[in-house]
Structure 1
Amino acid sequence: MKKKTIFIIIGIAVALFAVWYFALRKKEQVVVLETERPKMGYISENVTATGKVQPVDTVAVGTQVSGTIKTLYADFNSKVKKGQLLAELDKTLFEATVNQYQANLVSAQSALVYQQGNFSRQSNLYKVGAVSKADYDNALYTYNASKASVNSIKAQLASAQKNLSLASIYSPIDGTVLSRSVSEGTTVAASFSTPTIFSIAKDLTKMQVEASVDEADVGDISKGERATFTVDAFLNDTFKGTIQEIRLSPSISSNVVTYKTIINTSNDGNKLKPGMTANITIFTKEVNNALLIPTKAIKFAPDSTLAGKYQMTWVNRDRKPAGADEAYVWVQKNSKELVQKKIKTGINDNTHVEVLSGLAAADVVVTGSQSMGKSQAAAQGQSSPFMPKRPGGNRRR
């Protein structure tokens, strides 16, 4: 009986020990550094905006005279040439006016011939004293009035003929008809402004994007900078462009101030259509072969858990803020030493930072630290630059 009790006590003790060892015992934690070597690569600063795709040059074709549209010779998307007939107004009234002034001119010219002969006779009689000065002056006045009447009717006839010619509407440029505002039978009135009949884009192989750039970003962009954009119709295509101008007139909507920025682009594939919404990226600074480190590296600061494990060499022990183009990073020299370095920075895209000076490509930069168990730390240590690597890489047979 006593032996059985002893075995029970021993079993309970073993169970309690197992529970403590596997569940309640505080596992020893090891602090492991996260490191990365600087690398050469591309980095940029950019500004994002939205805008509309539109033709570079658009001409509104209208009519200078009032009338009724008789015939249309072009429609939406029509390809037209300079001088091509696009539309005609009803010419009945214009032709009648021309005929009326032509008849008036013939009558006035006939009267002029008569008055010219009369003045010639009165002039000869006045020279020999057969008529009075009053008769002579009256003949001269009537002759001059007839000449003025002929000139006036000629001017009216020219105006009527011009109006008749304006009843035929021609294309001023080579291009593509974007819109047609009237139909046959529509009456157009040219009293105060020229009614628009067609809108013609000069060359749809050359387009421009009118981007709305926020006032906070407009100071960073300038003429000639590179831009890319996408449109919803072709999400997998990236279109390229160049900043042509930044217009000074602001647009204000809901207290947000934006400036129109014009981006020229090519449309050789005719994928871009007028009015498409563009999502634009403007590259304000670019470096193709920069020395880069993760942004996490300039934010890392060692804590007390690392102080006992590593020998630390400080440059900025007081932790004073770095300058505008400066930062502090920690470099792992070996398995027991961390050295703080002051670097000069360039472009920061919030993922990587350009290093202008203060680091070499062979340096091992600390980007963070984490606590883990010994087994995890051992596995992690195999990829450390200070630990020997197994021959043959990670492949297993």
Structure 2
Amino acid sequence: PTAKPSTSAKPSTSAKPSASGKPTAGGKPSSRPATTGGTRPSQGSCDRGTGTSTGGGTGGGTGGNTSTGAAAKGGVSEDQASANVDRAQAALEQAADDVRATRIVAPTAGTILSVAGGAGDTAGTGTFISLGNLNELQVQAMVTESDVNRLKLGQKAEVTLATRSGERYAGTVTAIAPTATVDGQLVRYSVTLAFDEPPTGLMLGQTASVTVTTDEATNAIYVPAAAVRSRSDGTQVVTVRSGGRDSAKVVRTGVRGDQYVEVTSGLVESDQVVMSGGTSGEFPDGNWPDA
């Protein structure tokens, strides 16, 4: 049976779904008819979701539309969802940065020599990992302050290893420390030398002796350094034995080594220089001695 509408309930023509009323993301459309736009019919039946009524009135339903920008029941707004995505993206980027920060990248290829710490230790500001290139080992020598002024970068040297005493390896001075290391009354400077051709089988911490060539003289007359004496007037003399008699001869010196001194004038090869305990004999021919 069809119920007649009340005389005060005219059908509404504004009960169509709003064109701008799309549900927001994440929100399910409501199945409840809209409550706006007209009066309820007193009696009668309606077709759900069509927006029309057989008995008049505007309560026939709007199909679950929501107003623009409003959250559907149980969901979030578009702006809120976008903010959530931004926060999640920022958290992801921070997590990626944290993972990258756990990696230590070596500046060059080499072998790990030591690690100062382990898992769970508190991070510090000092060196954590020591890295070395075992294919390019260097020699660090300590030189007294009386000798360091005679050294220059690029000077040639010979290196002898304690474990290979019969072999000598060519090297070059590559660094001279500008500051001294003081041990009591002993003042020394650190000098670094590189092998011209690194020998195989070297190990860190091996003991070596170094001879640096500070100057050279070939075909020179040389005498033991202890045979040369300096006078108060600045001249230098050596004692020469001739015919069983000793006499002082003024000489001029050139290249000076640890044990020998070059004589540039005042002596000839046949001279015999007297030292305490005997004579040196005739001067040998050849180049400047290695010692």
Compute the TM-score of the two structures, normalised by the length of structure 2.
0.53
Please tell me the residue identity of whatever aligns with 1:209. Answer: V
Find the partner of 1:367 among 244, 268, 274.
Answer: 274
Q: 1:178 aligns with which of 106, 113, 130?
A: 113
Residue 155 (1) aligns with residue 90 (2): yes
Of all paired residues, the percent bearing the same amino acid is 25
Candidates 209, 216, 231, aligned match of 1:321: 231
* 1: CA distance, partners of 2:252 / 2:170: 32
**Pick aligned residue for 1:279 from 194, 209, 212:** 209
Which residue in 1 is equivalent to 2:251? 343
Aligned counterparts, 1:82-161, within 5 A: 150-161=85-96
Distance 2:146 2:114 in 1: 37
Distance 1:264 1:295, change over 3 A: closer
Q: Does the residue aligned with 1:157 lie in a helix, a strand or coil?
A: helix
2:175 paired with 1:245: yes
The answer (yes or no) to whether the contact 2:182–2:188 under 8 Å persists in 1 is: yes
Range moving further from structure 2, 257-266 or 149-158: 149-158
Counterpart residue number, 2:262: 354
Q: 1:355 to 1:206 in 2, by over 3 A?
A: same
Offset, 1:273? 0.9
CA distance in 2, matches of 1:278, 1:328: 35
Distance 1:156 1:275 in 2: 48
- Structure 1's 245 and 191: CA in aligned 2 closer, same or farther, altered over 3 A? closer
**Residue 152 of structure 2 aligns to which amino acid in structure 1?**
S
Question: 1:269 aligns to what?
Answer: 199
Contact 1:188/1:195 (CA < 8 Å) preserved in 2? Answer: no
Q: Is the 8 A contact 2:136 2:198 kept in 1?
A: yes
Q: Secondary structure at the match of 1:163?
A: helix
One-letter amino acid of the structure 2 residue matched with residue 342 of structure 1: V
Distance 2:106 2:276 in 1: 72
Which structure: greater strand fraction? Answer: 1
Unpaired segments of 5 or more residues in structure 2?
1-23, 27-67, 72-76, 283-291
CA contact (8 A) 2:171 2:193 kept: yes
Report if aligned partners of 1:243, 1:261 keep a CA contact under 8 Å in 2.
Answer: yes
1:157 Cα deviation after fit: 0.7
Distance in 1 separating the partners of 2:88 and 2:124: 26
Distance (whole Å) between structure 1 residues aligned to residue 187 and residue 25 of structure 2: 73
CA distance in 1, matches of 2:276, 2:105: 75
SS at match of 2:253: strand
Amino acid at match of 2:132: A
Q: Deviations over 1:106-165 (max 9, x none)?
A: xxxxxx978xxxxxxxxxxxxxxxxxxxxx9xx9xx977765654443232122124345
CA distance in 2 between partners of 1:173 and 1:338 (Å): 66
Could you tell me which residue of structure 2 aligns to residue 206 of structure 1?
Answer: 136
Match of 1:291? Answer: 221
Deviation, 1:245, is: 1.3
Take 1:159 and 1:369, find their aligned partners in 2: how far apart are those partners? 81
CA distance in 1, matches of 2:225, 2:121: 66
Query: Counterpart amino acid of 1:364?
Result: D
1:322–1:328 distance in 2 versus 1, CA, 3 Å: farther
Normalised by the size of structure 1, how large is the TM-score?
Answer: 0.41
Q: Is the 8 A contact 2:172 2:196 kept in 1?
A: no
Structure-2 change in CA distance of 1:172 and 1:324 (3 Å) = same
3-state DSSP class of the match of 2:199? coil
- Asked if structure 2 preserves the Cα contact closer than 8 Å seen for 1:241 and 1:266, the reply is yes
Higher relative contact order (CA 8 A, sep 6+): 1
In the alignment, the residues of structure 1 paired with residue 127 and residue 175 of structure 2 have an alpha-carbon distance, to the nearest angstrom, of 31
In structure 2, distance between residues paired with 1:352 and 1:285 = 12
Q: CA deviation at 1:250?
A: 2.9
Point out the structure with the larger helix share. Answer: 1
CA distance in 2, matches of 1:348, 1:218: 14
Name the CA distance, whole Å, in 1 between partners of 2:207 and 2:221. Answer: 36
Q: Equivalents in 1 of 2:195, 2:85: separation in Å?
A: 58
> How far apart are the structure 2 equivalents of 1:366 and 1:290?
15
